[in-house]
Structure 1
Amino acid sequence: MNSIIKGFKMLITESSYINEICEECDYTCNTIHFKRNFKNWTSGNDNIDKLIQDTQLSAHDNYDLLNVLEWIPSDRLYNIKYVAGKKMYRANWVDGCMDKWDNENENWKRVNQHMTVDLKSLNNSNNISLEFMNEIRIDYEFYGITQDSKTKAFMMVLNTKCRKCECICNIIHLQRNFVNWTSGNDDIDKFIQFTQLSAHKNTHNVLEWIPFDKFYGIKYIKKMEVYRANWINGYIDEWNNINQNWRRVNQNMIVILKNFNNLENITLEFMNKVKMNYKFYGITQNPETKNYKIVYNCKKCKHVCNAVYFQQNFINWTSGNDVIDKFIQYTQLLTHNDIREALEWIPYDKFYDIKYIEEIEVYKANWINGCIDKWSDKSQSWNRLNQNMTVILKNLNNPENTTLEFMNEVKINYKFYGITQNPETKNYKIVYNCKKCKHVCNAVYFQQNFVNWTSGSNIIDGFIQKTQLSACTHYDLIYALEWIPFDRFYNVKYIAKGGFGKVYRANWIDGYINEWNNETQNWKRNNKNMCVALKSLNNSKNITFEFINEITLHKKGKQHNAFIIGFYGITQDPETKNYVMVLEYAKDGSLRNYLDKRYHELNWENKISYLQDIILGLKGIHEKELIHRDLHIGNVLKLKYNTAIADMGLCKPADYKASENAKNNIYGILSYIAPEILRGQNYTQAADIYSFGIIMYEVIAGLPPYYDLSHDKNLAIKICMGLRPRFNIKVPQLIVSLIKSCLDANPSNRPEVDDIYEMLKYGQYGRTELQEQIKEIEETNKILPTSCISLNLGLSYKTHSEAIYTSRLLNFSDLPKPKNSDDYYEQNDNIISKEFSESLQIDIS
């Protein structure tokens, strides 16, 4: 019975440990894990135990683990060797140092297993203190304390750190290895060590002593009086903490060995002189001749480069014509780091399916090998791409005029691969293809089809063709537009009317282009019969360059930006003759429509996620040095998994001419336009930030800005005087502060898109200050009265008859200078105070 009671007590004790919470952190932090383990170790010395425990009880978060000591049993150390010059021992530590707590394994996760450490005697354990420990840490990483199992002496477990870098940098690892090598010559040893002790941050200029048996395939090159060899190890790249050794690259690389005749001249100046023309790896010695040799390679680019590999192969080919040989060799010797300009001699039997194209007097053929891509260190030969690729063979009528100027002239329009010769006719031929993208690519397939379609407008044809000729890669295809005949759409239904056009929904029979199908010699398409949006642009039948520029802005904004609505191509309404943009379809419509229907279903995570999508879309626009100029919630569409910005740069009519409009004519929705823009100043990216601030308010409040006011000059005056929308719910102060900064009357005080994104991203996940504020206000909002009526999951509110939420031309004069309310930054409970709102004698509560 006693044993049962005892076991029950132990279970209760362990249970209490499991639920133990740190008073400072309010969760089970590192100090709790350390504290639980105190009973499992002791140094046998109270002073040492107390010091170790004090450091552990201070390590609440993972960053503090850097200052933690631990008791390290002597059997966790091996390879213990005395370093006479240092008066310390060196050993390998099996476990390595603590990194963070592993909840799954209920133990510490460790890094740098089997790392090298220094063991230094702790002469007086009675005087050990935090001050003493901090003094040690000036020169060392201090991991813990151990005890010599034989002498019982306590020893500190350390790692020498670089005073310059204040960490264990490259020179520490290199310096520890000094005892393991020698060239047999003091001057050489000192020279190599000097270069190694300068390699704090990188190993670019490090030399090393390389034993001669690390080379193979050694061959004497008489003309250059050097040896060519393969270096088994390759050169040092970076320290590998896992293997506790140097990571090396280019194993079995080709290097040059050159006799070093005057050992006394080996200095830093000598090395720098060598480095002017070569990449210098180290020094070796032939054990038979006792000659020292420097190890280096490529004269031009300071590493084993493409030119070296090409040069090795010169003896293996010839065109039979000295001019052509020299020309090809010249191009190859220029390709140190960039293979794209290299030509090669291509035997004629490497082509098949050779067919003459009479119209353009060339031959079309398939090239078995394909073009050179890069050197393979593994196979010691060229990797090639596009085997059996289609190329063009064109007669080279005057081989004697084959020069670099000739090649550059050809390259203006073609990718030039090399030269071949028909063995029957003896005619030399240049081998080339694709005019634009310099390889057989999507652009070629698009270009072949140009004769089969037209929009009826040279301007639009040119614009579409330009996007297609830029679609070289598979990834680029998403930015290629196409001309889509209107009869490829069905179920065309009217959705809405915008400021300068109408929007329809339709099904697209073909779906969008995915990739080229070599088997069918046609485009493979995805999502047949997909829903798309058709945006008709009024008066676009009278197409202008201004309209094309606006479409260009949409395309430019969409590139590398998943948060701008997709753009597939252009079509034409056969009745009105207006041109129509074919866009990604948003089933839920605009974000405004979605809020009206589903607002009460949304939680804070949803709202912040939508705002993150919008700011990412705007970030992509601003990074391309563009300005949206008409950003409002109606131009933000709710897609299945995210929101996306629409109408990028399409805020003007298709036949709009800037010179015909007065400077003060502004286009947009009044409630989203920054006050400085209302006064006629030029658009800036800060104006987009203001618009985003209004959208933030709208997504969180659920209500359109100033929905109960007339959108007239009086409202424009009040906005310039500091009027901003007010929340009728409690909102986290951090969100309010962010909105206030976005809506600041001074554009220079508004945040950048990156700052906004980081704040929203930081606040969405984890235990953050914003999350805590959200938790508090959610309870408050449950009992607050609301000015809008809930209808299922949506909203019902009465909009003023003169509140206008479609973009239009605005022209206001004599507006006051923009300013913030007097108490704008004095309180953070709302965007503006109720008192200031009432002082403007406008009820927006």
Structure 2
Amino acid sequence: MNKKGTSAAVNMKGLDALDRHLDQLWRIQKENNEKQQQQRSPKEWEMDPAKLLVKQAIGRGAFSQVHRGVYDGQDVAVKLLDWGSEEHEADRNGVDSLRTLFTKEVSVWFKLEHPNVTKCIGCMTGKPEIKFERKRDQVGVPRNIAYQPGGTLTSYLKKHGRTKLPFPTILKLSLDLARGLRYLHSGHVVHRDIKPENILLDQNQTLKINDFGVATRVPPGGKLMTEFAGTLGYMAPEVFENKPYNRKCDVYSFGICLCEICCCPTPYANIRFSKLTSSTLYKHTRPNIPEWCPSPIADLMRKCWDTDPNLRPEMEDVVSMLEFIGSEAVLSDHQDNMATPTHQPGCLSMVRQAFDPVTNVIARC
């Protein structure tokens, strides 16, 4: 081959390499443009700050404040999250972690639609310009939910703490909670922090599950969770022991809540779970069920808080059990047992299971 042919072949190879390089640069630029577009595009749950008016505070937490508010003409509850300073790198990393958790919570919560689940109307990120009735309240990142004038289940039970709730009311509240959890589990959502403080009541005393801060969506196929999540006393033993667990952790929490609804507002009145470091003791500690509690309700509690998660019923089965208990025949058999107007002194007791040779009663009010 002559020099001219050799030079042409070399030039063709160079052009091919240049084309490949330009194609690679074009793909990288396209991917960067798509990422920037996604970052600029508002999330489906992003709210318009101009439509929100934040009113008086109605509650406070360690890192948040809850206010009444109005969004686009609708009464809402506004939770303002205070993420702190971003002046230092460590602070920025902490804020980034909180934003990640916040986004995860909202992405799960926003898509939920059920009469027994609080509706997440939307959220805002960054530092949006929103209107406050009082300037001194201007702090935090807002998250809006439908306003529930009935307050928390905790406050409701404390308000009625000196008298037992009517049996129909107990069944209604229990069924509301069970149906809400059945809905979550049917969509592969595990709440992981079911307790009266995270349950709200509307103006019709309809119970609604709230606060999805540690909730997670589990892919179909039964993937087990390992994170330590929840509240001591309501937390299932397998979670406390750092063992893999599934949605049955919510069933355990439901059983404890059922006891509170039926028997008393404070089943753990004199127990400090922060000092209860023994996994064996925690595993076998349960609320005491008063003798006057109808046996079908008591049996359901025991099934739900069984130590073995495999023996706990699914929430679908819990709903069926409660609906059967609420049938006229069963209701008439047990309604009279709930008629005693005074608060029973033994309902705040905590007992250890029979295996424990130590004294049976841990605390009594």
TM-score higher than 0.5: yes
- Judge conservation of contact 1:701–1:729 (CA < 8 Å) in 2: no
Deviations 1:29-76 (A, max 9, x none): xxxxxxxxxxxxxxxxxxxxxxxxxxxxxxxxxxxxxxxxxxxxxxxx
Query: Over residues 152-204 of structure 1, what are the superposed CA-to-partner deviations in whole Å (9 max), with x where a residue is unaligned?
Result: xxxxxxxxxxxxxxxxxxxxxxxxxxxxxxxxxxxxxxxxxxxxxxxxxxxxx
Which residue matches 1:786? Answer: 345
Q: Does 2:319 align with 1:757? A: yes
Instruction: Tell me what 1:564 maps to.
Output: 117
Q: Deviations 1:258-307 (Å, cap 9, x if unpaired)?
A: xxxxxxxxxxxxxxxxxxxxxxxxxxxxxxxxxxxxxxxxxxxxxxxxxx
Q: 1:667 to 1:721 in 2, by over 3 A?
A: closer
Give distance in 1, aligned partners of 2:342 and 2:293.
14
1:210-232 deviations in Å (ceiling 9; x for gaps): xxxxxxxxxxxxxxxxxxxxxxx
Q: What's the CA shift string for 1:723-781, capped at 9, x where partnerless?
A: 1011346101111110001010100000000111011112223112x541332x235x4
Deviation at 1:715, TM superposition (A): 6.4
Determine the C-alpha separation between the residues in 2 that align with 1:615 and 1:593. 20
From 521, 531, 552, the equivalent of 2:75 is 531
2:65 equivalent to 1:502: yes
* Residues 1:555 and 2:75 aligned together: no
| C-alpha distance 844-573 of structure 1, shift in aligned 2 (>3 A) | farther
Normalising by structure 1, report the TM-score.
Answer: 0.32
Q: Match of 2:287?
A: 725
SS in 1 for 2:78: strand
Pairwise CA distance, 1:577: 6.4
Matched, 1:485 2:65: no
Give the distance between the partners of 2:291 and 2:149, measured in 1 at CA.
Answer: 29
Match of 2:174 among 591, 601, 611: 611
Matching residue's letter, 2:119: G
Q: 2:310 maps to which residue? A: 748
Q: In structure 2, give the amino acid aligned to 1:677.
A: V
Letter in 1 for 2:66: V
Determine the structure 1 residue equivalent to 2:335: 774
Counterpart AA for 1:567: C
Aligned to 1:842: 362
Q: Which residues of structure 1 form unaligned runs of 5+?
A: 1-456, 465-480, 512-529, 653-662, 789-796, 798-819, 824-835
Note the alpha carbon deviations across 1:558-607, whole angstroms, 9 max, x for none: 13x22110111224565866321110111121011111123537311011
Deviations 1:605-634 (A, max 9, x none): 011101111111111110011110111111
What is residue 195 of structure 2 aligned with on the other side?
Answer: 632
Deviation at 1:720, TM superposition (A): 3.2
Give, in whole Å, the separation in 2 of the partners of 1:782 and 1:463. 52
Asked if the contact 1:588–1:639 (Cα under 8 Å) also holds between the matched residues in 2, the reply is yes
* Structure 1 segment 415-564 matched on structure 2, within 5 A: 461-464=41-44, 481-485=45-49, 488-490=52-54, 492-498=55-61, 500-508=63-71, 510-511=72-73, 530-539=74-83, 542=96, 544-556=99-111, 558-559=112-113, 561-564=114-117
Q: Cα offset for 1:486?
A: 5.8
> 1:486–1:610: structure 2 CA closer, same or farther, 3 Å change rule?
farther
Query: Is 2:238 the counterpart of 1:680?
Result: no
- Given the alignment, which residue of 345, 353, 360 partners 1:821? 353
AA aligned opposite 1:772 = D
8 Å Cα contact 1:587/1:638 also seen in 2: yes
Equivalent runs, 1:635-654 vs 2, <5 Å: 635-641=198-204, 642-648=206-212, 650-651=213-214
1:623, 1:545 → 2: CA distance? 25
CA distance in 2, matches of 1:757, 1:503: 32
SS of aligned partner of 2:285: coil
SS at match of 2:292: coil
Q: In structure 2, how many angstroms separate the alpha carbons of the residues matched to 1:495 and 1:460?
A: 34
Runs of 4+ with deviation above 6 angstroms: none
SS of residue in 2 equivalent to 1:727: coil
CA distance in 2, matches of 1:729, 1:666: 34
Unaligned runs of 5+ in 2: 1-36, 85-94, 130-136, 216-224
Q: How many Å apart are 1:666 and its aligned residue?
A: 2.6
Secondary structure, aligned partner of 1:634:
helix
Write the distance in 2 (CA, Å) between the matches of 1:685 and 1:771.
33
Name the aligned partner's letter for residue 736 of structure 1. A
Q: How far has the Cα of 1:690 moved from its partner?
A: 0.3
Confirm or deny that 1:598 pairs with 2:157. no
Distance 1:689 1:647 in 2: 17
Contact 1:837 1:843 (8 Å CA) reproduced:
no
| Correspondence list, 1:47-196, <5 A | none
**Can you list the C-alpha shifts for 1:670-724, whole angstroms capped at 9, x where unaligned?**
0100011001123411000000001000111122231212222426546534110
From the superposition, tell whether residues 461 and 647 of structure 1 become closer, same or farther in structure 2 (CA, over 3 Å).
farther
Q: Is the 8 A contact 1:729 1:786 kept in 2?
A: no
Q: 1:552 to 1:501 in 2, by over 3 A?
A: same
CA distance in 1, matches of 2:278, 2:328: 41
2:165–2:262 contact (8 Å) kept in structure 1: no
Q: Residues 543-565 of structure 1, C-alpha deviation per residue, up to 9 Å, x if partnerless?
A: 74443222111123x13x22110
SS of 1:667's partner is coil
Instruction: For 1:601 and 1:699, locate their aligned partners in 2 and report how far apart those are by CA, in whole Å.
Output: 9
Partners of 1:583 and 1:634 lie apart in 2 by 16
Partner of 1:622: 185
1:664 to partner: Cα distance:
8.3
Distance 1:462 1:573 in 2: 13
Shift of the 638–694 alpha-carbon distance from structure 1 to 2, 3 Å rule, reads same
Matched residue pairs, number?
Answer: 295
Q: Tell me which structure has the larger Cα radius of gyration.
A: 1
Out of 142, 147, 158, the residue aligned to residue 585 of structure 1 is 147
User: If the length of structure 2 is used for normalisation, what is the TM-score?
Assistant: 0.71
Distance in 1, matches of 2:344 and 2:353, equals 26
Q: Is the 8 A contact 2:255 2:305 kept in 1?
A: yes
1:502–1:664: structure 2 CA closer, same or farther, 3 Å change rule? farther
- 1:438-478 CA-to-partner distances (Å, cap 9, x unmatched) read xxxxxxxxxxxxxxxxxxx96595322xxxxxxxxxxxxxx
Change (3 A) 1:675 1:738: same
Counterpart contact for 1:501–1:537, Cα < 8 Å:
yes
Q: For 1:176-255, what aligned pairs fall within 5 Å after superposition?
A: none
Question: What is the rounded CA distance, in whole Å, between the counterparts of 1:644 and 1:625 in structure 2?
Answer: 18
Instruction: Give the partner amino acid of 2:190.
Output: I
Classify 1:573/1:670 alpha carbon distance in 2 versus 1 (closer, same or farther; 3 Å).
farther
Residues 640 and 747 (structure 1 numbering): CA distance in 2 closer, same or farther, change over 3 Å? same
Identity across the alignment (%)? 23
Task: Sort the Cα spacing of 1:699 and 1:494 in 2 relative to 1 into closer, same or farther, 3 A.
Answer: same
Q: Residue 531 of structure 1: CA displacement?
A: 2.3
Distance 1:617 1:758 in 2: 13
Describe the superposition over 1:376-418 as per-residue Cα deviations: whole angstroms up to 9, x where unpaired: xxxxxxxxxxxxxxxxxxxxxxxxxxxxxxxxxxxxxxxxxxx
Partner SS state of residue 463, structure 1:
coil
Q: Distance in 2 between matches of 1:787 and 1:461?
A: 58
Separation in 2, partners of 1:643, 1:506:
21
Q: Which residue of 2 aligns with 1:131?
A: none
Alignment partner, residue 691 of structure 1: 253
Q: In 2, are the aligned partners of 1:670 and 1:716 still within 8 Å (CA)? A: no
